[in-house]
Structure 1
Amino acid sequence: MDIKSHIELNNEIKQRGEDGFYRLDRDQAALDVFLTEVETNTKKFDGSVERLEWLIDNGYYYDVIEQYGDAEATEIVHVCYSYNFRFASYMAASKFYKDYALKTDDKTEYLEDYEQHVAIVALYLGQGDYSLAERLARGMMEQRIQPATPTFMNAGRARRGELVSCFLLEMDDSLNSINYVEATAKQLSKQGGGVSVNLSKLRARGEAIKGVHGCAKGVIPVAKSLEHGFSYCDQLGTRPGAGAAYLNVFHYDLPDFLDTKKINASEDVRLSTLSIGIILPSLFFKLAKADEDLYMFGSHSVYRKYGVVLDDEEMTRDFYDKLVADPDVYKRSMKARDVLELIAITQLQSGYPYLMFRDNANEQHALKALGTVKMSNLCVEISQLQETSTIADYGKEDVIRRDISCNLGSLNIVNVMESGKLWHSVHEGMRALTAVSDMSSINNAPGVRKANEELHSVGLGVMNLHGFFAKNGIQYESEEARDFCRVFFAAMNFHSIEASTLIAKERGQTFTGFDKSEYASGDYFTQYVREDITPQTEAVRKLFGSIALPGAADWRELAKHVAEYGLYHAYRLAIAPTQSISYIQNATSSVMPIVEHIERRTYGNAETFYPMPFLSPQTQWFYKSAYNIDQYALIDLVAEIQRHCDQGISTILYVNSDISTRELARLYIYAHERGLKTIYYVRNKLLRPEECTSCTI
C-alpha cells in the first residue's frame, strides 16, 4: 500500500463522526497500516540469538552476548515481548521508527522493533547486572520510566553518540579560553549534545585590550562563531547541532545581545539558530520595581579596578552602587523597566531570550558551600554549580574545573500512578540515570568529565501531568491540581534521595563535597520534618489510594540515613520539556498544559496529527488549551513543584498576541516572586488574520 495511505488515514482524525467528535478510530487504522509496512521492511532472522550475533558481528550492537551470555541476553528480549505491547497512536509508532529504531546503514530495513530496542537499552544500562536490566526493561515496557532521547537512541549501539542530553560551559575572558570552549562545544555537539555557554565574563564591546581602549569586539562575534560551529557539527546527520549563549543582565553588551533576535537585525549580528538566555539577579527586579536606571558594566574594567570577576560576584545593592559611582568603570544605562520591556518585546517577536533567575536558583541551592549556580542549559531545567577553567598557553598546564552535563530521564505520571509503583519507578529511574552518569566519560571535554566523576549529577523528571489531570477529571488551574503536585513531587523527591543514599551506601562513596552540603548538615530536611505533606483534597486522596506516602517521621529517618551514608548524586531532579520522547509514551509533554486537543506536526511535505492521550468526549473538557489557561495559575502550579525539585523546571508561558509588554513583564516578575528558577520559551498565539501577513489577502 502506498505510504500516503497511513498518512491519509491519520489525517481523517480531524473529520467529525456521527456523534460530532473526532474520528479517533482513523488514527488506529493508520497505525495498523503503518505497522504492516514496517513489518515488510524489517530484516528477518532465524532466532533471537542469531539476530544478536549478526548485529554484533556487523557493528550495530555492542557485544551484549559477551557481557551477559546468550541465555540472559535473549531472556530480556522475551521479557519485553511478554507485555504484548502496542503503540497507543500512529504518532507514537511513526516517531519511534523514524527517529529511534535501528536501521541498516543504507536505511532500507529496520533492525529492531520496540521490544528489541527496549531490551538492548536495558541490557546496556544494566552493564552485566541481569536483575537491574530486567527491572529497567519492565519499567520501560510498562512505560513508567523513559530515558531521554540521547540515551534511548544510543544505548547499546556500537556506533553511537553520547548518552547525555546537554552540556553547560563557561568562558573566561581570554582568547585561550574562548578557543578552548568553542572547540569543546563542537566536540560535544558532534556527539549529539545541546551546549550552553556563559559569555558573561567576556569583556564588552569597546573595552581595552592590553591597555588599548576601543579594541574589544564584545560577546556578539563569539556568539556568531558558536552558532556556525553548532551548524557544522551535528551527530552523523541524525540530530542537528544546537546551542545557547547566556549573558548576565548587568553586562554592558546586553542591548546588543537582545538585538541579535530582532527580525530586521543585520545578518552580521543576527543569531538565527543559536538560542539566547539572560541571567537575571534579583537586584534587576528591585531596580525595575523602583523605576530606577539599570547600569550595565564592562566586566574587564571592573576586574582591572577591583580584581574581581563581575559574573562571579553576588550583585548586591552596595556593590552595584559602588560600580555606578566609579568613573573608572566602563558602563551604560537604560531604565530598568525599559530593559524589562525590551526583553518582553524580543520574546514576543522570537520566543527568546530564556530567563534564568540566578538568586532564586542559589537561595534554593543545597550546595551553596560548594559553588554557585550561574546559568542554565538549552532547555533551562538544569541548575548546578559551575566553575571556570583556566586555559594556559601551550607548554603550560591548564587548570580544569567543573563544567556541567545533563543526564536526563522521565517518569510517565499516568502509568506510575495507575501501577501503584511510585517507589519502584523513582528507584529504577535513578538506577538508569546513574548508569548513564557512570558510563559517560568524554575525553574531549575534561571539565565535563571532572564534574561527572566528582558529582554524579542526574536529572529525573516527569511527563504526562496534563494527561493525568484530564484522565482523572481535574482542571489544570484547580486547587486539586496543585494539591496533587505538592504530594507527588514531595514523594518523588523523598524516593530520589532514598535511592541516592542507598547507592552511596552500596558503593561506599558520596559525591565530592557532600560533607559541606545542606544534606549533610540536615538543613535541607527542615521543611519536611516540620509538616506531613499529605493530600488536602478528597479527589487527590482517592488518586493516591494505597500508594505509601512519606510523612514527617519518614523524612526524619531519611535524614539520619543521609547523614550516615551520604548521597551519591549532587543533583537528582530536573524536569525537562520531554517533547519528542513523549509521543512514544503517548504522553503530554513534561508538566506543561497542552496547546491543542489534536496536535498538528509537519514532516517534509506531509502533515500528521497527534490526538492527546485519553482524549474522549468526556475528557476533552479537562484539556483546556495553554493559551486559555491563566498564566498566573500555571506559575502557581510550577511553584508547587519547584519547592520539591533540587534543579529547575522547563516552564513555558503561553500568551495571546494582544498581550501588552507590560503584562508579560508582570508574569516575569510573578514567576520570580514565586520562586521559579527559569522561564523557557514565551509562546505567542496570533489572534487575528491581519496579524499574519501570510493570512491576509
Structure 2
Amino acid sequence: MRYLELNSAVLHKKDGFFQLEKDREAAQAFEAEVEQKLRKFSDPIQRLKALISEGYYEDFFARYGEEEVLELSDLAYSYGFRFQSFMAISKFYKDYALKTDDKKQYLERYEDRVLAVALHLAQGNPAKARAYVEALMEQRYQPATPTFLNAGRARRGELVSCFLLELDDSLNSIGYNLNQAMQLSKIGGGVALNLSKLRAKGEPIKGVAHAAKGVVPVMKLLEDAFNYADQMGQRKGAGAVYLNIFHWDVEDFLDTKKINADEKSRIQTLSLGLIVPAKFFELAERGVDFYVFAPYSVYQAFGEHLDDMDIDRRYEELVAHPAVKKRPLSARAMLTRIAQTQFESGYPYIIYKSNANQAHPLKRLGQIKMSNLCTEIFQLQTPSVIGDYGEPDQIGYDINCNLGSLNIVNVMESGKLQESVHTAMDLLTAVSDLSDIRNTPGAHKANRAFHAVGLGAMNLHGFLAKNRIRYESEEARDFARSFFAAVNFYSLERSMQIAQERGVSFEGFELSEYASGAYFERYLAEDFRPRSDVVRALFAHLELPSPADWARLQAEVQKHGLYHAYRLAIAPTASISYIQNATPSIQPIVEVVETRTYGNATTYYPVPFLSEETYWYYKSAYHMNMYRLIDLVAEIQPHVDQGISTVLYVTSETSTRELARLYVYAERKGLKSLYYTRAKNLSVEECVSCAV
C-alpha cells in the first residue's frame, strides 16, 4: 500500500531531519483510497434518509426539519477540514467512521460523524447542535471514544464505557457484582471493582474458622468473566481491581502480578490498584512497621468495614484492639515491593485516598474509596446490600465515567476558552442525561442523583512545544496553573447556569463545600492569573477570571446551585488524540516520531507541530525529571475536582528505591493517583475502555 511506504519514509532523514512532508503525502494517498470506497449520495438529505431507512442511523428527522439538518451539514463542510497526519486519517476511518455491514464501503466522512454526534446529543435543539458542530469541527473539544463512535447510530453501543463497582462482604454481593461486570463488559464497558470489604484468606464464615478464601479467588473469577464477556470477540474485556493496602491479603494481591507467580494465582489481564491512605506513608517515613488487618475481625469489633474507616485517624485504635486480627509488615519494604512489581508489570496503580478525600468538596455526603481503570475518576461511592431471593436489595451509589477533552492548542488559538468549556459541559451533560444503563442499578442511581461528568484536556506538551516552552519549566507550570483555574471557573459557571435553567441541583448540594462557599476560598485569597511575562503574553487575547470574578461566582453558585456534583477529570487520551493531532492528555511525549503497530501494519506518527525549531522542546518523557512532571501535575490538581491520570516513566537505570521516593513525593505534592509506571523496556497494554 502506497500510503504505508510514504508514511515510513518519514524516518528517512533528509538534510539531517525527518521528511515530514512524506506523512502529509501518506495522508493524501489514504484519502484517495477512502474516496474510492466512499458510498456517494446526490445530496446530504438524501444520504441521511437512505442511511436511516437502511438502519444505519437513528431518525434525525423525527426531531429536526430538513432545512435545519441541511444548514448544519453545510456548516460542518464549510470548514474544509483536512486531517493533519496519516495517523489521524487512518485512525478515524478504521475505527470511527460508519461502514456498511460488510465493511467494504465507508458511509461517513469526518464531517458526517460530527453531524451525527451533534444531532443526537442536541436532541432536537438546532442552536445547541450548531454550537456542537462548531466545537467539534474546530477541534476545540473531543468527546470520548464511546460517545464519538456511537452517537447517532441506530445500532449503537453505550455513550459511556467505564464503571466503578464496590463489593460488600457477602457471596450475594460477589455474585451480583460478577454479573454486573459481565453485563457491562458485554456492552464494551471497562469495570473497576473495590475488593477491600472482602474478608481475608483464613477468616471465619458463619463461625467456621479458616473458611474464607480471600480476595485472589475472586480476582480469578473476575478475570475469567472479562475474558468470557468480550464483546463477541471484537474487543477484550477490561477490568481492574482495587485493594486497601491495610488489608490482610495485600501481599497475595501483589504477588498475582509476579512473573514467576503460580498459575493458580497469577493474574494476567486484570489491572491492579492499591488504595493507600496517608497513614501508610507516615509510617514508612518513620521507618516502622505497618499492620495489615483481617477486615472481618475489624467489622466484628467495630461494626464498621476497614475500608470505610478513617485509618489516618483510627489506625492506633485498630492496632490496640485485642479482637482485631493483625500482623506487622515493613512499610519501607512494602514500598520497595510495590516498585518491584511495577517494574515487572506496570502495576499496581496507586490511589492516594487521603489526598482525594481531603480535597473532596462533597465529603459530608460520602467518601471516595477507589478509582477507575485509568485512575482519574474520584467520586463518592456506597456499596449495594444484596438480599436473598425474595428479599429487597439496598442499591448504593456506583459510578460511570462520562468523559471528553479540550484540545488546549485549538482552544487557546481560537480565543474561545469560555465558549469551549461551556459547550463541552453542555455536550457532557447531554451524555449524562441520555445514559440509562439499567444493568448497573447503582451507577444508574448515582448518574440520576449527581449528573457527574469528567471534562479533561489534551495537547499540553504540543502547546508548550509550539510556543517554545519546556515541559519541565516554571513557565509550563505557570501556564498550566492559569489555564486549568480558568477551566474550573467556566465549568462551575456553566454548571450553575444549567442548575438555574432547570431549577435542579445535584442531590445533596446543600451539604457540599460549594453551598457553604468553602470551596471558593483559595480563589478569593490568591490570583491564579499568569505570573510570568511569557505566559501573560499567551493569554493576552483572553480574559481570565480574577478574585473578584470568583467572588461573584461564589455568590451565584450559593444562590442557584450546581447541576453536576463532579465536573473535571483528566483522562489519558489515546486514539482520540491522534484524530485531533494532539499530544496525549497533559503527559509528555515518549518519542518525536511514535511507532504504532496495528495488526500487520506499522504506522509512524510525528508529534504535532514538529519542526527543526520545536524539536528541541519535545524532550522524551524517559529523559525527563519525574519530580518536575509531578510538580506540573500538582499545579493542575487543585483546579480539578476529580483526578488526573499520571504516568511515571522510568528506565533500567532507575532503582526501586528511587521509584518509591517518587510515590512519596507525589503523595506530598497532593496528587490523588498514579497510573502506570512505564519502563523503557516494558510494554503495558493501554487502557482502551476509559481512554478518551
TM-score of the pair, normalised by structure 1: 0.97
Task: Pick one of 403, 409, 412 that aligns with 2:404.
Answer: 409
Task: Pick one of 420, 426, 429 that aligns with 2:421.
Answer: 426
Tell me what 2:639 maps to. 644
Question: For residue 403 of structure 1, what is the amino acid of its counterpart?
Answer: D
Question: Residues 233-282 of structure 1, C-alpha deviation per residue, up to 9 Å, x if partnerless?
Answer: 23354443211000000001100110111111122111111100000000
1:11 aligns to 2:8 (yes or no):
yes
Tell me what 1:269 maps to. 265
Tell me what 1:509 maps to. 504
Tell me what 1:551 maps to. 546
User: Secondary structure, in 3 states, of the residue corresponding to 2:63?
Assistant: helix
1:77 aligns to 2:73 (yes or no):
yes
Question: For residue 9 of structure 1, what is the amino acid of its counterpart?
Answer: L
Q: Percent identity?
A: 61
1:621 aligns to 2:622 (yes or no):
no
Range with bigger deviation, 157-166 or 409-418: 157-166
User: Secondary structure, in 3 states, of the residue corresponding to 2:570?
Assistant: coil
Question: For residue 264 of structure 1, what is the amino acid of its counterpart?
Answer: N
1:256 aligns to 2:289 (yes or no):
no
Mark the CA change 1:567 to 1:494 in structure 2 (over 3 Å): closer, same or farther: same
1: distance between equivalents of 2:81 and 2:35? 15
Tell me what 2:304 maps to. 308
User: Secondary structure, in 3 states, of the residue corresponding to 1:138?
Assistant: helix
Tell me what 1:212 maps to. 208
> How well do the aligned residues superpose, as a CA RMSD in angstroms?
1.1
Range with bigger deviation, 34-43 or 641-650: 34-43
2: distance between equivalents of 1:424 and 1:302? 51
Tell me what 1:457 maps to. 452
Question: For residue 599 of structure 2, what is the amino acid of its counterpart?
Answer: G
1:224 shift after superposition: 1.2
1: distance between equivalents of 2:468 and 2:194? 43
1:450 shift after superposition: 0.3
Question: Residues 203-250 of structure 1, C-alpha deviation per residue, up to 9 Å, x if partnerless?
Answer: 011111111111111111111111111122233544432110000000
1:97 aligns to 2:125 (yes or no):
no
1:297 shift after superposition: 1.0
2: distance between equivalents of 1:239 and 1:89? 26
User: Secondary structure, in 3 states, of the residue corresponding to 1:599?
Assistant: strand
Question: For residue 642 of structure 1, what is the amino acid of its counterpart?
Answer: Q
1:374 shift after superposition: 0.3
1:295 shift after superposition: 1.2
Question: For residue 137 of structure 1, what is the amino acid of its counterpart?
Answer: V
User: Secondary structure, in 3 states, of the residue corresponding to 1:316?
Assistant: helix
Q: Aligned ranges for residues 108-507 of structure 1 at < 5 Å?
A: 108-316=104-312, 319-507=314-502
Tell me what 1:41 maps to. 37
Question: For residue 59 of structure 1, what is the amino acid of its counterpart?
Answer: G
User: Secondary structure, in 3 states, of the residue corresponding to 1:675?
Assistant: coil
- What count of residue pairs does the alignment treat as equivalent? 682
Tell me what 1:86 maps to. 82
1:331 shift after superposition: 2.4
Question: For residue 357 of structure 1, what is the amino acid of its counterpart?
Answer: Y
User: Secondary structure, in 3 states, of the residue corresponding to 1:83?
Assistant: coil
Verify the 8 A CA contact 2:357 2:367 in the aligned structure 1.
yes
Verify the 8 A CA contact 2:524 2:548 in the aligned structure 1.
yes
User: Secondary structure, in 3 states, of the residue corresponding to 2:315?
Assistant: helix
Mark the CA change 1:239 to 1:68 in structure 2 (over 3 Å): closer, same or farther: farther
Verify the 8 A CA contact 1:207 1:330 in the aligned structure 2.
no
Question: For residue 117 of structure 1, what is the amino acid of its counterpart?
Answer: R
Question: Residues 2-27 of structure 1, C-alpha deviation per residue, up to 9 Å, x if partnerless?
Answer: xx22111101110011x210011111
1:298 shift after superposition: 1.0
Question: For residue 56 of structure 2, what is the amino acid of its counterpart?
Answer: Y
Range with bigger deviation, 583-592 or 29-38: 29-38
User: Secondary structure, in 3 states, of the residue corresponding to 1:53?
Assistant: helix
Gaps of 5+ in 1: 688-697
1:604 shift after superposition: 1.3
Gaps of 5+ in 2: 683-692
Tell me what 2:687 maps to. none
Question: Residues 341-361 of structure 1, C-alpha deviation per residue, up to 9 Å, x if partnerless?
Answer: 100000011100000000000
User: Secondary structure, in 3 states, of the residue corresponding to 1:65?
Assistant: helix
Range with bigger deviation, 228-237 or 50-59: 228-237
Question: For residue 240 of structure 2, what is the amino acid of its counterpart?
Answer: A
Question: Residues 577-636 of structure 1, C-alpha deviation per residue, up to 9 Å, x if partnerless?
Answer: 011110000000000000000000001121110000000000000000001111000000
Q: Aligned ranges for residues 503-652 of structure 1 at < 5 Å?
A: 503-652=498-647
Verify the 8 A CA contact 2:506 2:562 in the aligned structure 1.
yes
Verify the 8 A CA contact 2:277 2:312 in the aligned structure 1.
no
